[in-house]
Amino acid sequence: MMSNKKGKNSSTRTSRKSDPLVMARFIEELSWVLDTYKDLDFKALSKVRNDLIHSKPQSTLGQNITNNTDVTKTLVGTLPGLLADNKLFSNNESISEFSQKTLGIDIPRWNKKSRNELIGHIVCNTENANQKDLEKVVKALNRLLDSSPAERKKVEADVKSGLSWNEVIQSLLH
């Protein structure tokens, strides 16, 4: 009987992955995001990704940021991976709270949206957020990305214990 349940779940996952409506919605959302950021320098995003992979976040997250556009580009390149981390953001409510309290970006009807829709909303609205707040977030995220595994575990524990992201950001800045 368990194998039937297991088989049913895996067939549901497979059918969802190949559901034409889901794929069409994904393409529509992706094209919207790409159109919104048509002026974005995708080579710069690639450099941010490569620097992160090669443990050089200090060169891209906060240290060499010279203007507001760089802050926004940095966050647009960093936030999707950070917000997708289930250890830091266990549910949609935590993503919505982070967005609202830390970035000042409200997400209407966040509880009716998927995790990816929330992340897309945040990424698309980062450009309109308060730049001074974004600079603080970039500095804090830089420290989080540069942190040792023990320090990262502490942040994960703080988040899990219910500490607000605003408090986490403040602790990373001190």
Q: What is the pLDDT of residues 68-111, one digit of tens each?
A: 556 666 777 778 888 888 888 889 998 998 888 888 889 999 99
pLDDT tens-place string over residues 113-171: 999 999 889 888 887 888 888 888 888 888 888 888 888 899 889 888 988 888 888 88
Q: Which residue is listed with tokens 């490569």?
A: 50
Position 152 scores a pLDDT of 87
Position 60 scores a pLDDT of 45
Please calculate the CA angle 137-99-170 and round it to the nearest 5 degrees: 35
Instruction: Please compute the mean of the pLDDT values over residues 55-77 and round it to a whole number.
Output: 55
Position 61 scores a pLDDT of 46
Give per-residue burial for 34-72: e unless 16+ CB within 10 Å, then b.
eeebeebeeebbeebeebbeeeebeebbbeebeeeebbb
Q: Is the pLDDT of residue 15 over 50?
A: yes
Question: Residue 171 burial by CB count (10 A; 0-12/13-18/19+): exposed, middle or buried?
Answer: middle
Position 66 scores a pLDDT of 46
Helices (H), the chain: 2-17, 20-36, 42-53, 68-83, 92-97, 115-125, 131-146, 149-160, 165-173
Position 46 scores a pLDDT of 67
Cα separation, 88 vs 156, whole angstroms: 6
pTM of the model: 0.57
Give per-residue burial for 90-127: e unless 16+ CB within 10 Å, then b.
eebebbbbbbbebbebebeebeebeeebbbbbbbbbbb
Position 7 scores a pLDDT of 47
Position 163 scores a pLDDT of 87
Average pLDDT over the chain, rounded to an integer: 76
pLDDT tens-place string over residues 30-50: 777 777 777 777 667 667 666
